[in-house]
């Protein structure tokens, strides 16, 4: 096996270079981005701001919830909750200007099976993705971890024609990225791209507001602050806005050095809210110029 790899590796490098050149030749077409989250709210929380920015530029974004969220509540469960959460993310998609899909897998039961690997591979191929984003596989929740594992497992298979031959294989391997988290072991998150979301924060706040089952009911009950949730619609939206500014403002402060490097001292220091992403070692490995093409926001800042 080691001898085979010694001869095969240069061929793989050459193939990756060819794929990168093919990708670079398509600069004029809209980008296609697919984001996998474990539940019907994860994509919106981790990438709602950048998704809205891509959409405003005419690029195509799809959010995929790997599970249907049917146990994510303290007073309801099963099909009723799954339908409610599916409707919530469809409303989010309208707000953000994107597409959304929820897979029919029970909340808390996602596993890195061959069947699910095929499903993820097909979804990436069907979307003809240039960029794939997901959780890191060391997240706290098993559904989050296995979403990350399944995306990693698909990262090579998407270009293998004989795997899932019912959907044509991609001729270029996407760039795979992780969403931001605070976990330190076995290794901490290291951002390769930090995206200012001040210009789309209002959309992101409205999307979070649309996820009422989670952010006005389940999460407050789970964490013991249900009594702090306002009752009026306008008051809830204002409360959500303040919480979003706190959360994504802290993220901007955490990666302020990266923002300054991307935008320069004056603009980098002025960013109030941000989302961050780390390039996965699988898939196409973009250089700095390619990352700027995939995240075409920084010249406009």
| Cβ atoms of residues 172 and 285 within 8 Å | no
Q: 138, 140, 160, 136: which is closest to 148 by C-alpha? A: 136
Q: In the structure encoding, which two tokens stand for residue 173, read together?
A: 């391997």
pLDDT above 90: percentage of residues in the chain: 89
The answer to whether residue 143 scores a pLDDT higher than 50 is yes
Domain presence at residue 258: no
pLDDT band of 299, cuts 50, 70, 90: confident
Phi, psi (5° rounding) for residue 65?
-90, 120
Structural domain that includes position 170: 30-197+274-288
Residue 231 lies in a domain: no
Kindly state whether residue 77 falls inside one of the protein's structural domains: yes
Run of H or E residues at 82? helix 78-96
Exposed, middle or buried, 106 (CB in 10 Å: 0-12/13-18/19+)? Answer: middle
Domain-embedded: residue 184: yes
User: Which pLDDT score is estimated for 108?
Assistant: 98
Domain count, the chain: 1
pLDDT for residue 46 is more than 90: yes
Predicted pLDDT of residue 1: 40
Q: Is residue 263 part of a domain?
A: no
What's residue 228's pLDDT? 97
* pTM of the complete model beyond 0.85: yes
Q: Prior bond to 186 cis, omega within 30?
A: yes
Task: Tell me if 148 is assigned to some domain.
Answer: yes
Average pLDDT value for residue range 202-208: 98
In a domain, 116, yes or no: yes
Question: Considering the domain boundaries, does residue 228 fall inside one?
Answer: no
pLDDT in tens, 241-298: 999 999 999 999 999 999 999 999 999 999 999 999 999 999 999 999 999 999 999 8
Grade residue 26 by pLDDT with cuts at 50, 70 and 90.
low
User: What CATH number is associated with residue 51?
Assistant: 3.40.50.10320
Q: pLDDT band at residue 3, thresholds of 50, 70 and 90? A: very low
């Amino acid at each position: 096996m080691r001898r085979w790899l010694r001869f095969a590796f240069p061929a793989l490098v050459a193939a990756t270079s060819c794929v990168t050149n093919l990708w670079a030749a398509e600069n004029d077409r809209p980008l296609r981005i697919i984001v996998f989250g474990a539940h019907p709210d994860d994509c919106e929380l981790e990438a709602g701001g950048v998704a809205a920015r891509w959409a405003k530029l005419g690029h195509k974004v799809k959010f995929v919830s790997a599970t249907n969220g049917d146990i994510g509540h303290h007073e309801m469960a099963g099909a009723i909750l799954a339908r409610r959460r599916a409707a919530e993310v469809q409303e989010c998609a309208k707000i953000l200007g994107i597409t959304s899909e929820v897979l029919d897998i029970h909340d808390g039961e996602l596993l890195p099976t061959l069947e699910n690997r095929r499903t993820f591979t097909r979804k990436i191929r069907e979307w003809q993705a240039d960029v794939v984003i997901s959780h890191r596989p060391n997240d706290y929740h098993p559904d989050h971890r296995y979403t990350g594992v399944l995306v990693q497992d698909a990262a090579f298979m998407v270009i293998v024609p004989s795997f899932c031959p019912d959907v044509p294989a991609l001729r270029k391997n996407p760039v795979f990225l992780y969403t931001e988290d605070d976990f330190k072991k076995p290794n901490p998150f290291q951002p390769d791209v930090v995206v200012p979301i001040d210009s789309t924060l209002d959309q992101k706040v409205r999307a979070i507001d649309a996820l009422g089952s989670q952010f006005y009911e389940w999460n407050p009950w789970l964490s013991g602050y249900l009594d702090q949730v306002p009752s009026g619609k306008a008051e809830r939206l204002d409360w959500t806005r303040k919480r979003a500014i706190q959360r994504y403002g802290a993220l901007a402060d955490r990666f302020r050095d990266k923002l300054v490097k991307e935008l320069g001292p004056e603009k980098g220091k002025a960013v109030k809210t941000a989302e961050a992403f780390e390039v996965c070692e699988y898939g196409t490995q973009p250089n700095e110029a390619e990352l700027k093409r995939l995240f075409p926001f920084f010249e406009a800042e």
